[in-house]
A and B are shown apart, each in its own frame.
Chain A
């Protein structure tokens, strides 16, 4: 076995057997994601079922007492609401305040007459907001959604009574949407889906890079901290192995462990995401249940991001990971133990977090090209913009990002290996452990 393999196996064994790392990196994410999955999916399903069930008690004050007011009340009964009659508005308000009823409905005088004369029939709705939670608000508003449905149905009846086509009347203009993106053309019924999809990729990529960076720098800093804490660093430096190899092995071990972690994360994340996508949205649930096909989304995305683009993103991200790992090793070299080594990672994660969040909310398409060139060579910041550069097919900028990040990564590895070759790693301490 080469020295590289020997150290790599040792690193993997140490990391995997260390319960602190195992708990923090593997068990906790699995538990958190699973609990998140159960909580989110179950509560969403339950809430949506409750909303779509359209039940509740409505106190009705019918001041009209004629054809269309009876029609409305019967419609609500058919939808599953319990209707009770009431004598006055004060009674409605009092009952809502004391939670005895869910809603109040006052059908005003001349409601039917107005509708028959092509005027708007007037009603008043009373409801209360009982909680600040999203689903609770939707539940509180479900009578409002039911009345929207009634309105739509009534419009159809009225329009068709006059011999008109309701589809035409509600949507006199029907558009066939063609999205032109660079040299491709995509036909879409609803362009909002595509724009949402694109904006979500510009959100997901920086977040993924941030999660991955946090995960990786913790691991590499820990692997250096362990050498110091377990007092193996001096022995390691006297062993017949090149210092450069030592740094490369540390980086490789961190990447390998992170890949295992990433696969677990990605699996859990996909599971969670697909479960969420397959839950119909509240608006959809009220109207009709339509689930989004994941394959359809993938097909749409592949029309925008080709294989070449995906490879570029992967390569750039890979080089960035090597850069961030070597930087984390450099800072960890000046610490005394695992705890202080891990603390130093915040000095790297904060700028990553900062630039990634800026990238999510910034549109760089309209800024001057010279500024784009400058941004493309700023370490860390440049990688946060890679998705936007690729979307706009600015391949020159993408290659500048790749080249500059590669140079930074190589320089960082060189500095790290040179530092290990000097006595500074033993004699110079930035992050000292507090002694009691």
Chain B
């Protein structure tokens, strides 16, 4: 049974702006699914609905069988969400921030300690974890946020542009960690990205979203072969017209 089921999801914002037009897809346990598309295609809206931050206009989303419409609290227990423009409390230290997030997922102190230790390793912040977040660079902050999202080993991790603002070396590291969490802990990952190389390298399947519709879906290699292009970037340009 898939961890995530998106069924005929439609979102119309006030003013009649149609963001999503009946999209459907699934993500299995341990699978990494990439949503790619141009700006305004509906990637972030999709992630926000799954994260229970926005409400669907019609259709439904199920996480481990729980509907975001009817059981949003149950869904929140199973997901961990990294918004594209996420920040953190600048007057807390990195450690305090991780402790704050971990406290929502476990009451067990040793389990919390394990989560935080893993997050420190994922972030690669070392000694700087004890510094206030306001002293972090953009890249350091993003690494901290990716770490807080993965440390809880959710059923479903929602990562909106996970490596945005991170340098190449750290991006590679983060991708390896995402893959490790999916493979070793069975975390289902739904990520959105503009970086086609990242998607091609990391994702088991991709959904190309354009004007609120999924216009192509499948494993990257399969899609490249099917559309006779050299890579995902070419496929993206071919399908979206620019």
Contacts and interface: CB of A to CB of B under 8 A. Distances in A.
B104 A234 contact: no
Interface stretch (A193-201, A268-276, A421-429): A421-429
B53 A6 contact: no
Interface string B25-40: 0000000000000000
Given A231-B87, A232-B88, A423 B104 contact: no
Quick one: which of B48, B91, B92, B101 has the most chain A CB within 10 A?
B91
A1 B54 contact: no
A18 B91 contact: yes
A10 interface: yes
B81 interface: yes
Interface in B113-140: 132
A10 B100 contact: yes
- Size range of the interface on B? 20 to 34
Interface string B55-71: 10000000000000000
Interface stretch (A26-34, A238-246, A406-414): A238-246
Contacts of B79: 238
Interface in A63-87: none
Contact of A422 (B55, B90, B92): B55
Contact of B87 (A3, A230, A237): A230
Contacts of B146: none
Nearest to A17: B91
B195 interface: no
A231 B100 contact: no
A298 interface: no
B113 to A, nearest CB: 14
A421 B4 CA distance: 22
B73 A240 contact: yes
Given A230-B88, A232-B86, A242-B73, A423 B54 contact: yes
B185 interface: no
Contacts of A239: 76, 101, 104
Nearest to A1: B103
A428 B14 CA distance: 9
B104 A3 contact: yes
B52 A238 contact: yes
A49 B111 CA distance: 70
Contacts, number: 78
Interface of A: 1, 3, 6, 10, 13-14, 17-18, 226, 230-232, 234-235, 237-242, 422-423, 426-428
Contact of A14 (B82, B85, B89, B107): B89
A309 B71 CA distance: 47
Given A13-B91, A13-B92, A3 B103 contact: yes
A176 to B, nearest CB: 64
A433 B28 CA distance: 41
Q: B interface, by DSSP: helix, strand, loop or mixed?
A: loop
Nearest to B44: A234
Given A232-B87, A232-B88, A423-B53, A13 B81 contact: no
Contact of B53 (A3, A18, A426, A428): A426
B240 interface: no
Contacts of A238: 51-53, 76, 79-81, 158
B115 to A, nearest CB: 14
A105 B154 CA distance: 95
Given A6-B103, A239-B104, A240-B105, A423 B55 contact: yes
B89 A232 contact: yes
Nearest to B91: A17
B217 interface: no
A240 B96 contact: no
Contacts of B87: 230-232
Contacts of B48: 234, 426
B218 interface: no
Specify which of A3, A239, A426, A427 lies most central, judged by the most chain B CB atoms within 10 Å of its CB: A239
A334 to B, nearest CB: 14
A14 B91 contact: yes
A240 B88 contact: no
B54 A6 contact: no
Q: Which 7 A-B pairs have the closest CB atoms?
A: A231-B87, A17-B91, A238-B81, A6-B103, A238-B51, A240-B76, A234-B83
Contacts of A428: 14
A14 B104 contact: no
A158 B83 CA distance: 94
A14 B92 contact: yes
Given A231-B85, A237-B53, A427 B14 contact: yes
Contacts of B53: 234, 237-238, 423, 426
Given A231-B83, A234-B86, A237-B53, A6 B92 contact: no
Contacts of B104: 3, 6, 239-241
A221 B215 CA distance: 44
B128 to A, nearest CB: 17
B86 A231 contact: yes
A426 B76 contact: no
